């Protein structure tokens, strides 16, 4: 098996078996108040969760976060996630497609359009690859080979620094992205992997042409912890593992820096109320990754059951705030 495929499988196993979430940091969403309205003047059944993101309508402001691809186990995970996304009318982000661009046999594990023809599907490539010869052509190939609607470029300096042989040259990346992004010809998002985009990063990329930012803040999965467990079997760098900008703060900073930029809230999103609070802080949609990994190993039904609970919670949050639709929360 290739090194990339092996690494991806190991990451899945570690996320399933080890405590990879932040312990000293939370998303900060628990401190965001949610006004309770005892006379909401809204019928629960009439609440509309539909929203638009990157040109597609979602039945709820929710996406399955970027996770995996490359190996056979990943193929099953992606298919189960995709079937659930199609059933619920929500979006899905694929995991890094570098494996499939470089190894033809890895391609099948990313193919999900046969079971999810209608969903908003977002591809994925690491920004560091654009320092190593990738350009708009590779990004377009990643999109077109899987029939995606858009692509997310993930930036992950902390993870790369803790990964032996990681891609750690981030010099002059912004000018490179300024060239590449407008040439892709599809919407391109920037995302972190769970350590957060700050307001100054949002400001630094304001001329790149990103269609949206996924703040992917701290409080959920710490990819520094995943790398520590992968290479040392323990938390070798416990203080580094807790670095990151809490999701609520990342959202507020990015919203202040770029008032018009569509934002995705992710990193530690675990409940429907947290999605509602993220919308209040300026997100258009939210995404969750790790909580869906275990259900995805079982069946599409297990993923659907998990997500239906979250969507129910979101509906209740809207109901008790007297909000009929997403616009009423986002103001
Ligand atoms: C098993 C697994 C694999 C992941 N692989 C990728 C990836 O390939 N590309 C990426 O951008 N993010 C990847 N992520 C990061 C997530 O998209 C997300 O940003 C991060 O896990 C924080 O969200 P969470 O707290 O809901 O897990 C992965 C997450 C998990 C759990």
Probe target for ligand 1 pocket from 28, 67, 247, with the most ligand atoms within 8 Å of CB? 67
Q: Are 269 and 27 in contact (CB under 8 A)?
A: yes
* Three-state secondary-structure class, residue 46: helix
Mean pLDDT for 127-141 is 96
Render pLDDT for 165-184 as a digit per residue (tens, 0 to 9). 999 999 999 999 999 999 99
On the question of pLDDT at 117 being above 90, the answer is: yes
> Where residue 25 falls among pLDDT bands split at 50, 70, 90?
very high
Q: Which residues pair with 62 in a beta bridge?
A: 286
Sole residue written with tokens 């000293």? 24
In order of their start, the domains of the chain are: 3-330 (3.20.20.70)
On the question of pLDDT at 196 being above 80, the answer is: yes
Render pLDDT for 231-263 as a digit per residue (tens, 0 to 9). 999 999 999 999 999 999 999 999 999 999 999
* Residue 331 pLDDT: 62
Q: Are 121 and 95 in contact (CB under 8 A)?
A: no
Mean pLDDT for 82-111 is 93
Render pLDDT for 268-309 as a digit per residue (tens, 0 to 9). 999 999 999 999 999 999 999 999 999 999 999 999 999 999
Helix intervals (H) in the chain: 3-17, 72-88, 98-102, 136-146, 157-162, 173-184, 199-204, 223-232, 247-257, 272-280, 293-298, 300-320, 326-330
Q: Measured between alpha carbons, how far is 126 from 98 in angstroms, rounded to an integer?
A: 8
Ligand 1 neighbours by CB, cut-off 6 Å: 11-12, 15, 65-68, 95-96, 124, 154, 191, 193-194, 216, 220-221, 266-269, 288-290, 293
For strands 56-58 and 51-53, give the pairing.
antiparallel
* Residue 92 pLDDT: 98
């Amino acid at each position: 098996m290739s090194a990339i495929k092996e690494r991806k499988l190991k990451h899945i196993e570690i996320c399933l078996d080890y405590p990879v979430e932040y312990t000293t940091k939370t998303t900060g969403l628990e401190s965001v108040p949610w006004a309770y309205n005892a006379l909401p003047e809204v019928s629960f059944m009439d609440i509309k969760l539909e929203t638009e993101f990157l040109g597609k309508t979602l039945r709820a402001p929710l996406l399955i976060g970027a996770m995996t691809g490359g190996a056979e186990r990943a193929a099953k995970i992606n298919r189960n996630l995709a079937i659930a996304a199609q059933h619920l009318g929500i979006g899905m982000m694929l995991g890094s497609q570098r494996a499939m661009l470089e190894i033809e046999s890895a391609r099948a594990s990313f193919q999900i359009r046969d079971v999810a023809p209608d969903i908003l599907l977002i591809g994925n490539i690491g920004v560091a690859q654009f320092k190593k010869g990738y350009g708009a052509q590779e990004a377009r190939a990643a999109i077109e080979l899987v029939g995606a609607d858009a692509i997310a470029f993930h930036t992950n300096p902390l993870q790369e620094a803790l990964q032996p042989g990681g891609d750690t040259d981030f010099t002059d990346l912004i000018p490179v992205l300024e060239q590449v992004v407008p040439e892709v010809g599809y919407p391109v998002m920037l995302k972190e992997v769970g350590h957060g985009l700050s307001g100054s990063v949002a400001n630094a990329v304001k001329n790149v042409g990103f269609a949206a930012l996924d703040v992917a803040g701290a409080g959920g999965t710490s990819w520094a912890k995943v790398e520590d467990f992968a290479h040392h079997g323990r938390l070798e760098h416990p203080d580094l593992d807790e670095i990151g900008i809490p999701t609520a703060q990342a959202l507020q900073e990015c919203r202040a820096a770029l008032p018009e930029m569509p934002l995705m809230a992710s990193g530690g999103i675990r409940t429907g109320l947290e999605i509602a609070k993220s919308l209040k802080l300026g997100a258009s949609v939210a995404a969750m990754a790790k909580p869906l990994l275990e259900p995805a190993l079982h069946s599409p039904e297990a993923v659907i059951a998990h997500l239906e609970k979250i969507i129910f919670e979101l509906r209740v949050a809207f109901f008790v705030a007297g909000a009929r639709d997403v616009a009423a929360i986002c103001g």
